Amino acid sequence: MTRSYSEFRRGWTVLIASSLGVAFGASPIPYNSLGPFTRPITEEFGWGRGEFQLSILWFTVAVVCVVPIVGALADRYGVRRMAILTLTLFGVSFAALALAPASIGVFYAMWFIAGFVGGGSTPVTWTRAVNGWFIENRGLALAITLLGTGITAAFLPTLAIWMIERFGWRWAFVGISLLPLAVALPVAIAWFREPERRVVAAEGGVPTQPAESGVMLREAVRDYRFWVLIVSILLVATGIGGTITNLVPLLQDRGFTALDAGKIAGAIGVSIMFGRVFAGFMMDRFWAPGVVFPMLVLPAVACLILMNGNLGAGAAVLAAVLVGFASGAETDLVAYLSARYFGLRHYGRIYGAQYAVFGFASGIAPPLFGLVYDKTGSYDAILITAAIAFGVGASLLLTMGKYPSFEAQAANGAGQ
Protein backbone atom coordinates (compact mmCIF):
# COMPACT_ATOMS: atom_id res chain seq x y z
CA MET A 1 0.00 0.00 0.00
CA THR A 2 1.30 3.46 -0.90
CA ARG A 3 1.35 5.66 2.16
CA SER A 4 0.20 9.26 1.81
CA TYR A 5 1.73 12.08 3.81
CA SER A 6 -0.91 14.68 2.95
CA GLU A 7 -1.89 14.73 6.64
CA PHE A 8 1.37 16.53 7.35
CA ARG A 9 0.53 19.21 4.77
CA ARG A 10 -2.74 19.88 6.57
CA GLY A 11 -1.59 19.55 10.15
CA TRP A 12 2.07 20.57 10.30
CA THR A 13 1.34 23.77 12.23
CA VAL A 14 -0.62 21.84 14.86
CA LEU A 15 2.22 19.33 15.06
CA ILE A 16 4.82 22.04 15.71
CA ALA A 17 2.65 23.74 18.33
CA SER A 18 2.02 20.40 20.05
CA SER A 19 5.70 19.48 20.03
CA LEU A 20 6.65 22.76 21.69
CA GLY A 21 3.80 22.41 24.17
CA VAL A 22 5.02 18.98 25.21
CA ALA A 23 8.68 20.05 25.32
CA PHE A 24 8.06 23.13 27.49
CA GLY A 25 5.06 21.92 29.48
CA ALA A 26 4.64 20.27 32.86
CA SER A 27 6.08 16.92 31.77
CA PRO A 28 9.82 17.45 31.12
CA ILE A 29 10.66 20.85 32.64
CA PRO A 30 10.22 20.05 36.37
CA TYR A 31 11.98 16.68 36.21
CA ASN A 32 14.95 17.96 34.24
CA SER A 33 15.46 21.18 36.18
CA LEU A 34 15.09 19.88 39.74
CA GLY A 35 18.63 18.50 39.91
CA PRO A 36 20.47 21.77 39.13
CA PHE A 37 18.42 23.59 41.79
CA THR A 38 19.19 21.02 44.50
CA ARG A 39 22.53 22.30 45.84
CA PRO A 40 21.94 26.07 45.72
CA ILE A 41 18.56 25.88 47.43
CA THR A 42 19.49 23.30 50.06
CA GLU A 43 22.67 25.18 50.90
CA GLU A 44 20.78 28.46 51.30
CA PHE A 45 17.88 27.05 53.34
CA GLY A 46 19.71 24.24 55.16
CA TRP A 47 17.44 21.49 53.84
CA GLY A 48 18.52 17.93 53.14
CA ARG A 49 18.74 16.85 49.50
CA GLY A 50 16.22 14.09 49.95
CA GLU A 51 13.92 16.52 51.71
CA PHE A 52 14.24 18.94 48.80
CA GLN A 53 13.70 16.37 46.05
CA LEU A 54 10.53 15.11 47.69
CA SER A 55 8.93 18.20 46.14
CA ILE A 56 8.73 16.40 42.80
CA LEU A 57 6.47 13.79 44.38
CA TRP A 58 4.03 16.50 45.48
CA PHE A 59 4.11 17.88 41.95
CA THR A 60 3.42 14.42 40.53
CA VAL A 61 0.53 13.78 42.92
CA ALA A 62 -1.09 17.04 41.77
CA VAL A 63 -0.65 16.14 38.10
CA VAL A 64 -2.09 12.67 38.68
CA CYS A 65 -5.15 14.23 40.36
CA VAL A 66 -5.80 16.86 37.71
CA VAL A 67 -4.99 15.11 34.43
CA PRO A 68 -8.24 13.09 34.23
CA ILE A 69 -10.20 16.27 34.99
CA VAL A 70 -8.39 18.24 32.30
CA GLY A 71 -8.91 15.39 29.85
CA ALA A 72 -12.65 15.43 30.48
CA LEU A 73 -12.80 19.23 30.12
CA ALA A 74 -10.86 19.02 26.84
CA ASP A 75 -13.34 16.44 25.53
CA ARG A 76 -16.24 18.73 26.46
CA TYR A 77 -15.03 22.28 25.87
CA GLY A 78 -12.23 21.80 23.35
CA VAL A 79 -8.57 20.93 23.55
CA ARG A 80 -7.32 24.33 22.36
CA ARG A 81 -8.79 26.20 25.34
CA MET A 82 -7.37 23.75 27.88
CA ALA A 83 -3.93 23.66 26.24
CA ILE A 84 -3.49 27.42 26.17
CA LEU A 85 -4.93 27.95 29.67
CA THR A 86 -2.89 25.26 31.43
CA LEU A 87 0.34 26.11 29.60
CA THR A 88 -0.06 29.71 30.77
CA LEU A 89 -0.79 28.69 34.35
CA PHE A 90 2.15 26.29 34.40
CA GLY A 91 4.58 28.99 33.26
CA VAL A 92 3.31 31.48 35.84
CA SER A 93 3.31 28.97 38.70
CA PHE A 94 6.81 27.76 37.83
CA ALA A 95 8.08 31.35 37.81
CA ALA A 96 6.43 31.84 41.23
CA LEU A 97 8.88 29.31 42.70
CA ALA A 98 11.38 32.17 42.62
CA LEU A 99 9.49 33.59 45.62
CA ALA A 100 9.88 30.44 47.74
CA PRO A 101 10.58 31.17 51.42
CA ALA A 102 12.71 29.08 53.77
CA SER A 103 9.73 26.85 54.63
CA ILE A 104 9.78 23.33 53.25
CA GLY A 105 6.02 23.04 53.73
CA VAL A 106 5.35 26.15 51.67
CA PHE A 107 7.85 24.91 49.06
CA TYR A 108 5.97 21.62 48.73
CA ALA A 109 2.68 23.51 48.45
CA MET A 110 4.07 25.68 45.64
CA TRP A 111 5.15 22.60 43.70
CA PHE A 112 1.74 21.00 44.28
CA ILE A 113 -0.01 24.11 42.96
CA ALA A 114 2.26 24.18 39.88
CA GLY A 115 1.33 20.58 39.13
CA PHE A 116 -2.37 21.12 39.72
CA VAL A 117 -2.85 24.26 37.61
CA GLY A 118 -0.35 23.24 34.94
CA GLY A 119 -1.03 19.51 34.71
CA GLY A 120 -3.05 20.03 31.54
CA SER A 121 0.11 21.03 29.67
CA THR A 122 1.27 17.40 29.80
CA PRO A 123 1.03 15.22 26.66
CA VAL A 124 -2.60 14.32 27.45
CA THR A 125 -3.81 17.61 25.99
CA TRP A 126 -1.45 17.95 23.04
CA THR A 127 -1.80 14.36 21.83
CA ARG A 128 -5.59 14.74 21.91
CA ALA A 129 -5.32 17.15 19.00
CA VAL A 130 -2.59 15.23 17.18
CA ASN A 131 -4.63 12.02 17.29
CA GLY A 132 -7.50 13.90 15.65
CA TRP A 133 -5.38 15.45 12.91
CA PHE A 134 -3.38 12.32 12.01
CA ILE A 135 -4.83 8.89 11.29
CA GLU A 136 -2.67 7.10 8.72
CA ASN A 137 0.56 8.61 10.11
CA ARG A 138 -0.58 8.78 13.71
CA GLY A 139 2.35 6.87 15.18
CA LEU A 140 4.95 9.06 13.48
CA ALA A 141 3.03 12.24 14.36
CA LEU A 142 2.86 11.23 18.02
CA ALA A 143 6.57 10.44 17.97
CA ILE A 144 7.36 13.90 16.61
CA THR A 145 5.05 15.49 19.17
CA LEU A 146 6.71 13.71 22.08
CA LEU A 147 10.23 14.10 20.72
CA GLY A 148 10.52 17.38 22.59
CA THR A 149 10.86 15.62 25.94
CA GLY A 150 14.17 14.10 24.85
CA ILE A 151 15.42 17.41 23.48
CA THR A 152 14.47 19.20 26.70
CA ALA A 153 16.23 16.54 28.75
CA ALA A 154 19.36 17.11 26.70
CA PHE A 155 19.70 20.91 27.10
CA LEU A 156 17.66 22.05 30.13
CA PRO A 157 20.02 20.92 32.94
CA THR A 158 22.91 22.79 31.33
CA LEU A 159 20.76 25.86 30.74
CA ALA A 160 19.52 25.81 34.35
CA ILE A 161 23.06 25.55 35.74
CA TRP A 162 24.20 28.47 33.55
CA MET A 163 21.29 30.63 34.73
CA ILE A 164 21.88 29.77 38.38
CA GLU A 165 25.57 30.63 38.14
CA ARG A 166 24.92 33.89 36.30
CA PHE A 167 21.75 35.19 37.96
CA GLY A 168 21.04 33.04 41.04
CA TRP A 169 18.48 30.30 41.54
CA ARG A 170 15.50 32.62 41.96
CA TRP A 171 15.95 34.32 38.59
CA ALA A 172 16.69 30.90 37.06
CA PHE A 173 13.12 29.84 37.86
CA VAL A 174 11.87 32.94 36.07
CA GLY A 175 14.19 32.36 33.12
CA ILE A 176 13.07 28.76 32.65
CA SER A 177 9.41 29.82 32.85
CA LEU A 178 9.96 31.81 29.66
CA LEU A 179 10.17 28.54 27.74
CA PRO A 180 6.43 27.86 28.16
CA LEU A 181 5.37 31.51 28.32
CA ALA A 182 7.50 33.15 25.62
CA VAL A 183 8.20 30.23 23.27
CA ALA A 184 5.47 27.56 23.41
CA LEU A 185 2.50 29.78 24.29
CA PRO A 186 2.67 32.24 21.33
CA VAL A 187 3.04 29.34 18.90
CA ALA A 188 0.09 27.53 20.51
CA ILE A 189 -2.10 30.62 20.24
CA ALA A 190 -1.18 31.07 16.57
CA TRP A 191 -1.13 27.47 15.33
CA PHE A 192 -2.79 25.05 17.77
CA ARG A 193 -6.29 24.19 16.54
CA GLU A 194 -9.07 21.74 17.22
CA PRO A 195 -9.00 18.54 15.11
CA GLU A 196 -10.97 18.60 11.88
CA ARG A 197 -14.10 16.45 12.03
CA ARG A 198 -13.82 14.31 8.91
CA VAL A 199 -15.27 10.96 7.88
CA VAL A 200 -13.89 10.55 4.39
CA ALA A 201 -10.57 11.50 2.88
CA ALA A 202 -10.15 15.14 1.99
CA GLU A 203 -7.24 14.47 -0.33
CA GLY A 204 -4.82 11.75 -1.30
CA GLY A 205 -7.06 8.94 -0.07
CA VAL A 206 -6.01 9.40 3.56
CA PRO A 207 -8.32 7.50 5.92
CA THR A 208 -9.78 9.74 8.59
CA GLN A 209 -11.72 9.35 11.77
CA PRO A 210 -14.04 11.96 13.23
CA ALA A 211 -13.03 13.27 16.63
CA GLU A 212 -16.20 11.97 18.30
CA SER A 213 -15.85 8.31 17.27
CA GLY A 214 -14.92 5.66 19.81
CA VAL A 215 -16.14 4.40 23.18
CA MET A 216 -17.01 6.31 26.32
CA LEU A 217 -14.93 6.05 29.48
CA ARG A 218 -17.50 3.86 31.24
CA GLU A 219 -17.33 1.43 28.32
CA ALA A 220 -13.55 1.49 28.24
CA VAL A 221 -13.18 0.54 31.91
CA ARG A 222 -15.28 -2.58 31.23
CA ASP A 223 -12.82 -3.62 28.54
CA TYR A 224 -10.01 -5.87 29.78
CA ARG A 225 -7.59 -4.05 27.46
CA PHE A 226 -8.01 -0.84 29.48
CA TRP A 227 -6.70 -2.65 32.58
CA VAL A 228 -4.00 -4.52 30.66
CA LEU A 229 -2.65 -1.16 29.54
CA ILE A 230 -2.89 0.23 33.09
CA VAL A 231 -0.90 -2.64 34.61
CA SER A 232 1.65 -2.62 31.79
CA ILE A 233 2.21 1.12 32.22
CA LEU A 234 2.59 0.77 35.97
CA LEU A 235 5.21 -1.96 35.70
CA VAL A 236 7.24 -0.51 32.84
CA ALA A 237 7.09 3.16 33.91
CA THR A 238 8.17 2.33 37.45
CA GLY A 239 11.15 0.38 36.18
CA ILE A 240 12.22 3.01 33.68
CA GLY A 241 11.66 5.97 36.02
CA GLY A 242 13.63 4.42 38.85
CA THR A 243 16.48 3.25 36.64
CA ILE A 244 16.94 6.62 34.93
CA THR A 245 16.85 8.74 38.07
CA ASN A 246 19.23 6.44 39.96
CA LEU A 247 21.65 5.70 37.14
CA VAL A 248 24.26 8.30 38.12
CA PRO A 249 24.64 7.22 41.76
CA LEU A 250 24.56 3.58 40.67
CA LEU A 251 27.43 4.18 38.26
CA GLN A 252 29.35 6.02 40.96
CA ASP A 253 28.93 2.94 43.16
CA ARG A 254 30.51 0.98 40.32
CA GLY A 255 33.60 3.24 40.42
CA PHE A 256 32.78 5.88 37.81
CA THR A 257 33.44 9.54 38.58
CA ALA A 258 30.44 11.85 38.83
CA LEU A 259 31.39 13.54 35.55
CA ASP A 260 31.76 10.24 33.69
CA ALA A 261 28.51 8.95 35.17
CA GLY A 262 26.75 12.10 33.97
CA LYS A 263 28.12 11.69 30.46
CA ILE A 264 26.97 8.08 30.33
CA ALA A 265 23.52 9.05 31.59
CA GLY A 266 23.37 11.63 28.79
CA ALA A 267 23.15 8.76 26.33
CA ILE A 268 19.63 8.16 27.61
CA GLY A 269 18.37 11.45 26.18
CA VAL A 270 19.77 10.72 22.73
CA SER A 271 18.39 7.18 22.65
CA ILE A 272 14.97 8.41 23.82
CA MET A 273 14.71 10.47 20.63
CA PHE A 274 15.75 7.56 18.41
CA GLY A 275 13.40 5.16 20.20
CA ARG A 276 10.52 7.60 19.89
CA VAL A 277 10.86 8.11 16.14
CA PHE A 278 11.52 4.43 15.46
CA ALA A 279 8.50 3.29 17.48
CA GLY A 280 6.21 5.86 15.89
CA PHE A 281 7.33 4.98 12.37
CA MET A 282 6.89 1.25 12.94
CA MET A 283 3.53 1.49 14.75
CA ASP A 284 2.05 3.13 11.65
CA ARG A 285 2.95 0.02 9.66
CA PHE A 286 2.66 -2.91 12.06
CA TRP A 287 0.67 -4.02 15.10
CA ALA A 288 1.83 -1.67 17.87
CA PRO A 289 2.07 -4.19 20.78
CA GLY A 290 4.24 -6.44 18.61
CA VAL A 291 6.46 -3.50 17.67
CA VAL A 292 7.14 -2.31 21.20
CA PHE A 293 7.32 -5.70 22.94
CA PRO A 294 11.02 -6.22 22.18
CA MET A 295 11.75 -2.55 22.88
CA LEU A 296 10.22 -2.74 26.36
CA VAL A 297 12.11 -5.94 27.17
CA LEU A 298 15.46 -4.24 26.49
CA PRO A 299 15.61 -2.48 29.90
CA ALA A 300 15.47 -5.91 31.56
CA VAL A 301 18.77 -6.66 29.82
CA ALA A 302 20.06 -3.26 30.97
CA CYS A 303 19.21 -4.12 34.59
CA LEU A 304 21.22 -7.32 34.39
CA ILE A 305 24.16 -5.42 32.87
CA LEU A 306 24.06 -2.82 35.65
CA MET A 307 24.26 -5.54 38.31
CA ASN A 308 27.81 -6.34 37.19
CA GLY A 309 30.21 -5.21 39.89
CA ASN A 310 33.02 -4.82 37.33
CA LEU A 311 30.95 -2.74 34.94
CA GLY A 312 32.95 -1.19 32.11
CA ALA A 313 32.25 2.08 30.32
CA GLY A 314 31.07 0.40 27.13
CA ALA A 315 28.60 -1.84 28.97
CA ALA A 316 27.35 1.11 30.99
CA VAL A 317 26.68 3.14 27.84
CA LEU A 318 24.87 0.16 26.31
CA ALA A 319 22.65 -0.13 29.39
CA ALA A 320 21.83 3.58 29.23
CA VAL A 321 20.97 3.33 25.52
CA LEU A 322 18.70 0.32 26.09
CA VAL A 323 16.77 2.11 28.85
CA GLY A 324 16.45 5.31 26.81
CA PHE A 325 15.33 3.45 23.69
CA ALA A 326 12.50 1.83 25.64
CA SER A 327 11.58 5.08 27.34
CA GLY A 328 11.20 6.70 23.92
CA ALA A 329 8.61 4.11 22.91
CA GLU A 330 6.76 4.05 26.21
CA THR A 331 4.92 7.40 26.21
CA ASP A 332 4.13 7.16 22.48
CA LEU A 333 2.64 3.73 23.03
CA VAL A 334 0.19 4.85 25.70
CA ALA A 335 -1.16 7.68 23.55
CA TYR A 336 -1.27 5.51 20.42
CA LEU A 337 -3.01 2.53 22.01
CA SER A 338 -5.52 4.72 23.84
CA ALA A 339 -6.63 6.14 20.49
CA ARG A 340 -6.50 2.88 18.50
CA TYR A 341 -8.33 0.67 21.01
CA PHE A 342 -10.80 3.19 22.45
CA GLY A 343 -11.12 5.93 19.82
CA LEU A 344 -11.26 9.68 20.31
CA ARG A 345 -14.75 10.18 21.69
CA HIS A 346 -13.50 10.16 25.31
CA TYR A 347 -9.79 10.19 24.50
CA GLY A 348 -9.03 12.91 27.05
CA ARG A 349 -10.67 10.96 29.86
CA ILE A 350 -9.25 7.59 28.88
CA TYR A 351 -5.71 8.73 28.15
CA GLY A 352 -5.92 10.99 31.18
CA ALA A 353 -6.52 7.95 33.38
CA GLN A 354 -3.68 6.06 31.70
CA TYR A 355 -1.33 9.04 31.98
CA ALA A 356 -2.22 9.44 35.65
CA VAL A 357 -0.88 5.94 36.24
CA PHE A 358 2.22 6.82 34.23
CA GLY A 359 2.72 9.96 36.32
CA PHE A 360 2.22 8.08 39.59
CA ALA A 361 4.76 5.43 38.58
CA SER A 362 7.29 8.07 37.50
CA GLY A 363 6.86 9.93 40.79
CA ILE A 364 7.05 6.95 43.13
CA ALA A 365 9.89 5.12 41.33
CA PRO A 366 12.87 7.34 42.36
CA PRO A 367 12.22 7.16 46.13
CA LEU A 368 11.34 3.45 45.81
CA PHE A 369 14.69 2.64 44.23
CA GLY A 370 16.44 4.84 46.79
CA LEU A 371 14.63 3.17 49.68
CA VAL A 372 15.75 -0.29 48.57
CA TYR A 373 19.31 0.99 48.33
CA ASP A 374 19.11 2.54 51.81
CA LYS A 375 17.82 -0.72 53.26
CA THR A 376 20.15 -3.14 51.48
CA GLY A 377 23.20 -1.04 50.54
CA SER A 378 22.81 -2.09 46.91
CA TYR A 379 20.54 -1.60 43.90
CA ASP A 380 20.72 -5.28 42.94
CA ALA A 381 17.41 -6.33 44.55
CA ILE A 382 15.41 -3.56 42.89
CA LEU A 383 17.18 -4.13 39.57
CA ILE A 384 16.11 -7.77 39.60
CA THR A 385 12.56 -6.72 40.46
CA ALA A 386 12.59 -4.13 37.67
CA ALA A 387 13.84 -6.69 35.14
CA ILE A 388 10.91 -8.97 35.98
CA ALA A 389 8.51 -6.01 35.78
CA PHE A 390 9.77 -5.11 32.30
CA GLY A 391 9.24 -8.65 31.06
CA VAL A 392 5.75 -8.97 32.53
CA GLY A 393 4.67 -5.48 31.47
CA ALA A 394 5.82 -5.98 27.89
CA SER A 395 4.25 -9.43 27.63
CA LEU A 396 0.85 -8.19 28.83
CA LEU A 397 0.55 -5.96 25.77
CA LEU A 398 0.57 -9.03 23.52
CA THR A 399 -2.85 -10.00 24.91
CA MET A 400 -4.63 -6.89 23.58
CA GLY A 401 -5.66 -8.40 20.26
CA LYS A 402 -6.50 -6.65 17.00
CA TYR A 403 -7.56 -3.03 16.75
CA PRO A 404 -11.32 -2.40 16.91
CA SER A 405 -12.99 -0.51 14.08
CA PHE A 406 -14.99 2.64 14.75
CA GLU A 407 -15.98 3.16 11.11
CA ALA A 408 -19.58 2.03 11.60
CA GLN A 409 -20.01 4.26 14.61
CA ALA A 410 -18.47 7.16 12.70
CA ALA A 411 -20.80 6.61 9.75
CA ASN A 412 -23.85 6.49 12.02
CA GLY A 413 -22.73 9.65 13.79
CA ALA A 414 -22.19 11.44 10.49
CA GLY A 415 -25.64 10.55 9.30
CA GLN A 416 -27.44 11.90 12.36
CA neighbours closer than 13 Å in the CB half-sphere of residue 379: 30
| CB atoms closer than 10 angstroms to residue 375 | 10
Residue 97, SS3 per DSSP: helix
Asked if residue 275 lies in contact with residue 326, where contact means CB atoms within 8 angstroms, the answer is: yes
Question: Sign of dihedral through CA atoms 86, 90, 91, 92?
Answer: positive
Residue 50's nearest CA partner among 374, 381, 386, 360 is 374
Residues 78-110 as b or e (16 or more Cβ within 10 Å = b): ebbebbbbbbbbbbebbbebbebeeebeebbeb
CA distances from 248 to 161, 261, 265, 299 (A): 17, 5, 7, 16
**Mean pLDDT in runs of 10 for the chain (416 residues)?**
69 91 90 76 81 82 85 82 94 96 94 93 85 81 82 78 89 96 95 69 46 76 92 92 79 79 77 84 88 92 92 92 87 80 81 80 78 82 94 94 71 47
Q: What domains are defined for the chain?
A: 1-211 (1.20.1250.20), 212-416 (1.20.1250.20)
Task: Give 276-333 pLDDT, tens digit per residue.
Answer: 888 888 888 889 999 989 999 999 999 999 998 888 999 999 998 999 889 888 767 8
